[in-house]
C-alpha cells in the first residue's frame, strides 16, 4: 500500500472542501485506487465538517498535530487525541519539524504517539535533519536518534507510518539526490526493524514533492509514499502527483 498524504499546514476555510472533493472524485474512479491511500490533514477548524463529509468516501481526513495529554486538560488552545477521535479523525501527524522547532521535544513526542495510538489514531511520525546536520554528515545519527527516542517495540507498529522530511527540503524546491534518498530510506527502515524486531512500518518521503519529481522518486521502490505540503493545496497538483506516480 502506498500513501499520498497532503499536509495543508495553515491553509483552508470551509469552502476549501471543494479542493478535497475534486481529489476524492479522482481517487474514487482511478483504476489504481486500491494501490494507495489518499489522506489530507486540514487545520483543526475544519476537521469535524470535513471528517463528516468524507466519512464514507475514498479520501481520509487526518490532523496535523495533537496535544500530549489525554482526554481533557486545562491547556489553552490544546486539542487531545481523544478530541480528534471524537470528530472522526483517523490519522495524525506527530513530530513535524514546524512543531519540533516550536518546542516539541522527544519526550513530548513520545507522549503524543502513545496517546494517539491509545485513542486509535494512526500516527504519521515525522523525522528529518536540518541543513547543518546534513552538511556535517550526521543525518543517519540524527534520524536514528529521532526514531529510538520516541518509538519502542511495545507500540502497535501497524498503526505507525514514518515520514522522512529533510528540513532543508521543505518548501525549498530542493530534493535529495536519488542515491542519498535511497540510502537514507534503507537506513530508516533498518533502524525501525531493530526497534520493532522484524518488519518496518511504511516510510514516506516529504519535501518539495511535485508532479514532476515524483517520477524520480518512484524509481526508489523502498519509498512507501509521500507527505506533500504546498502541492496538496491544489487539487490538480495533488492529482498530478498520483497520476505521474502510476504512469
Show which residues are catalytic: 96, 165
CB atoms within 10 A of CB 198: 9
165 binds ligand 13P (CB under 6 A): yes
Q: Which stretch binds ligand 13P (CB under 6 A): 115-123, 150-158, 187-195, 224-232?
A: 224-232
162 binds ligand 13P (CB under 6 A): no
Residue 42 CB, nearest distance to ligand 13P (Å)?
Answer: 13
Q: Which stretch binds ligand 13P (CB under 6 A): 22-30, 141-149, 182-190, 226-234?
A: 226-234
Residue 229 CB, nearest distance to ligand 13P (Å)?
Answer: 2
> Could you tell me the three cell numbers for 161?
507510518
Among 51, 65, 133, 208, binds ligand 13P (CB under 6 A): 208
229 binds ligand 13P (CB under 6 A): yes
Closer residue to ligand 13P in complex, CB, 208/235: 208
Instruction: Give me the residue whose beta carbon is nearest to ligand 13P.
Output: 229
230 binds ligand 13P (CB under 6 A): yes
Residues constituting the chain: 247
166 binds ligand 13P (CB under 6 A): no
Residues 167-196 that bind ligand 13P (CB under 6 A): 170-171
128 binds ligand 13P (CB under 6 A): no
89 binds ligand 13P (CB under 6 A): no
Distant-in-sequence, close-in-space partners of 156: CB < 8 Å, separation ≥ 6: 117
Contact positions toward ligand 13P, by CB under 6 A? 7, 96, 165, 170-171, 206-209, 227-231
Amino acid at each position: 500500500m502506498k500513501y499520498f498524504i497532503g499536509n495543508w499546514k495553515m491553509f483552508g476555510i470551509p469552502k476549501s472542501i471543494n479542493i478535497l472533493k475534486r481529489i476524492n472524485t479522482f481517487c474514487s474512479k482511478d483504476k489504481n485506487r486500491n494501490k494507495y491511500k489518499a489522506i489530507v490533514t486540514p487545520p483543526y477548524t475544519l476537521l469535524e465538517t470535513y471528517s463528516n463529509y468524507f466519512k464514507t468516501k475514498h479520501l481520509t481526513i487526518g490532523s496535523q498535530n495533537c496535544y500530549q495529554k489525554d482526554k481533557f486538560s486545562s491547556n489553552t488552545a490544546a486539542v487531545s487525541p481523544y478530541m480528534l477521535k471524537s470528530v472522526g479523525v483517523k490519522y495524525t501527524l506527530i513530530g513535524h519539524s514546524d512543531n519540533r522547532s516550536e518546542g516539541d521535544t522527544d519526550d513530548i513526542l513520545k507522549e503524543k504517539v502513545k496517546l494517539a495510538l491509545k485513542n486509535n489514531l494512526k500516527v504519521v511520525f515525522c523525522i528529518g535533519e536540518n541543513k547543518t546536520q546534513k552538511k556535517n554528515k550526521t543525518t543517519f545519527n540524527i534520524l536514528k536518534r529521532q526514531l529510538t527516542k520516541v518509538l519502542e517495540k511495545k507500540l502497535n507498529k501497524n498503526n505507525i507510518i514514518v515520514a522522512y522530511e529533510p528540513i532543508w527540503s521543505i518548501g525549498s524546491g530542493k530534493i535529495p539526490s536519488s542515491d542519498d534518498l535511497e540510502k537514507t530510506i534503507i537506513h530508516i527502515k533498518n533502524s525501525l526493524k531493530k526497534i520493532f524486531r522484524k518488519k518496518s512500518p511504511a516510510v514516506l518521503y516529504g519535501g518539495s514533492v511535485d508532479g514532476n519529481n515524483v517520477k524520480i522518486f518512484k524509481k526508489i521502490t523502498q519509498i512507501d509514499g509521500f507527505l506533500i505540503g504546498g502541492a496538496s493545496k491544489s487539487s490538480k497538483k495533488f492529482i498530478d502527483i498520483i497520476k505521474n506516480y502510476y504512469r
